[in-house]
Structure 1
């Protein structure tokens, strides 16, 4: 992935996290069923959009599920937890921090090469 890909992915995922963070409390504790259902749709859509973008880039998927010699089974356990609403917000926050560090390291590499 290029630096621009990482930056673009970060913006998209950060926006989806914001949408999720606003809708999740309403989904859980909304005043009535209609509000909870509408918020639930936003929550699910946010997770779906995020997972779609992450799966588009194998390097991003590996960054999320752990780099190194982790087994495919181990990666799928991490992924399955990530896409559940009760884990999504915390895991996405951690993932965005990892992406930010990746962007910073790529920017440093680019500056060294100039």
Structure 2
């Protein structure tokens, strides 16, 4: 992946993460069923869109699930990542990994 691809992915995932953070508490503690259901739909939509973007880039999927991990281990990480109760903390960590990756690619391009 090129640095532009990483930046694009970071922007999209950060946007989806913001939607998730806004809607997740409402999904859990909304005033009534209609509000909770509406927020739940937005939460699952942001998770699904994030997962779709990550799987479009094999390098991003590897960064999330661990390059040296077994297939079973990757599956477990991916399964947990796509659940709302884990998504918040896992996405936060993943966004930091992407920022570190971008920084390392920028430093590498400055050297060359």
Compute the displacement of 1:66 (Å).
Answer: 1.0
Give the TM-score, by structure 2 length. Answer: 0.99
Cα separation, 2, equivalents of 1:79 and 1:29: 26
Structure 2 stretches lacking a partner, 5+ long: none
Q: How does 1:21-36 map to 2 (within 5 A)?
A: 21-36=21-36
Say whether 1:79 aligns with 2:78: yes
Which residue pairs with 1:93 in the alignment? 92
Cα separation, 1, equivalents of 2:33 and 2:66: 38
Give the TM-score, by structure 1 length. Answer: 0.97
Which residue pairs with 1:102 in the alignment? 101
Compute the displacement of 1:25 (Å).
Answer: 0.2
Which residue pairs with 1:112 in the alignment? 111
Let me know the Cα RMSD of the aligned residues: 0.4
Q: How does 1:10-89 map to 2 (within 5 A)?
A: 10-68=10-68, 70-89=69-88
Structure 1 stretches lacking a partner, 5+ long: none
Equivalenced residue count is 112
